[in-house]
Amino acid sequence: MAVPERGPRIRDLGEFGLIDRIAGLTGRAAGVDTGIGDDTAVLDTGGPRLLLATIDIQVEGRHFLTGRSTPYQIGRRTAAINVSDIGAMGGMPRWALVSLALPPDLAVSWVDEFYRGLNEELGRYGAALVGGNLSGSATIVVDLALLGEAERGRVLLRSGAQPGDVLMVTGTLGRAGAGRFALDAGLDRADPAVAACVTAQLTPAPRALEGIAVAQSGLATAMLDLSDGLAGDLGHICERSGVGVEVDAALLPIDARTRAVADRLGVDPLRLALAGGEDYELLFTAAPSAVEPLRSAVAAVAGVPVTVIGRITLPQSGRQITVDGVAQPMTAAGWDHFRTDGERA
């Protein structure tokens, strides 16, 4: 059968437009509490806990470069970004399956080191690799599916934010983006600031335990992880919750090392915080009275700071960011797999 050539191209829709289109082509199956459109699918198997399911692909030359990342780092990164999705729903990762497409002349030691990193990162959270598949390919392609579990009534979606809620984020923003630019520019990785940013880019640290703590508190109203940049990912909460938002740029947690690298690169650190992507921090909303209890809950599991960066507003207010005292529209400038040229890491 010939493939139709008329109509829009994938690049015209972009990643999230294509996701919406696919969702419209997919039926809703029994037992699906939450399907396409959130960090993970939430499945009800009838047991005491809900099942979470996520999957993420890593393509050589698009998501990683073998000249920059060791196979061990690629293995850790592959696990981490999936663990992050499970944690952002308030769940605990359990079982993983990985498909690998590999060039036949690739050294077997590459595979050994990849699995060492993958198993080590999964093991940090009590998850285990239980299966997978292999294929030949001209380039390396890694596709990991991860299943997790969550308590009923404790799963956090993108759709629960309410006007009057505050907007909070864990950790720091822009560090991974600074690391990617530092690698592009060939900055000295022996420099402590550069090393910190490059590490955040090549081996991100998921906030799974922090996500579970937020969910278990019962105080947050919506949550997701920051994979594509604050501006873009925040848009998902606004869309799914039907709300607006006001962000104060002066409150964004951008640390000294990220600022130092940005300065050397001649890059605005605010740009990195908003659109750098791949920070894998948690972005969540809650009533103002819940801020201190949530800070305490997160600090108790990992000592990670939580920063209030704005507030949720009525939908007609739109999405605004205040920079140097001036409010302006906040555009969803982040990573899009079909609209962004070049490699990511």
Q: Which two tokens stand for residue 250?
A: 């002066």
C-alpha to C-alpha distance for 90 and 149, rounded to whole angstroms: 9
Q: What is the pLDDT along the chain (345 residues), one digit of tens a residue?
A: 455 667 788 787 776 676 677 767 676 765 676 766 656 899 998 888 999 999 999 999 989 999 999 999 999 999 999 999 999 999 999 999 999 999 999 999 999 999 999 999 999 999 999 999 999 999 999 999 999 999 999 999 999 999 999 999 999 999 999 999 999 999 999 999 999 999 999 999 999 999 999 999 999 999 999 999 999 999 999 999 999 999 999 999 999 999 999 999 999 999 999 999 999 999 999 999 999 999 999 999 989 999 999 999 999 999 999 999 999 999 876 444 444 544 455
Question: Token match 């990162």: residue?
Answer: 121
Closest CA to 66 of 99, 114, 112: 114
Give the 3-state secondary structure percentages of the chain, helix then strand then coil, rounded to 5: 40, 25, 35
Domain ranges of the chain: 26-151, 166-329
| DSSP conformational letter for 170 | E
CB 308 within 8 A of CB 251: yes
C-alpha to C-alpha distance for 150 and 253, rounded to whole angstroms: 29
Query: Which residues on neighbouring strands pair with residue 108, listed in sequence order?
Result: none
The sheet that has 41-43: what strands, in order across it? Answer: 32-34, 41-43, 49-59, 141-151, 92-102, 128-136
C-alpha to C-alpha distance for 283 and 249, rounded to whole angstroms: 15
The pair phi, psi for residue 76, each rounded to 5°, is: -65, -45
338-343: which pairs have CB atoms within 8 A and are 24 or more residues apart? 338/10, 338/11, 338/13, 338/14, 338/15, 338/18, 339/11, 339/14, 339/15, 343/61, 343/62, 343/63, 343/64, 343/65
Q: What DSSP string describes 300-327?
A: HHH---EEEEEEEE-GGG-EEEEETTEE
The pair phi, psi for residue 156, each rounded to 5°, is: -105, 130
Give the orientation angle of helix 256-265 with respect to helix 175-185, to 10 degrees: 30
The sheet that has 166-170: what strands, in order across it? Answer: 220-225, 282-286, 166-170, 306-313, 244-248, 319-323, 326-329
Topology, domain 26-151 = 60s Ribosomal Protein L30; Chain: A; (3.30.1330)
The CATH architecture one would assign to domain 166-329 is Alpha-Beta Complex (3.90)
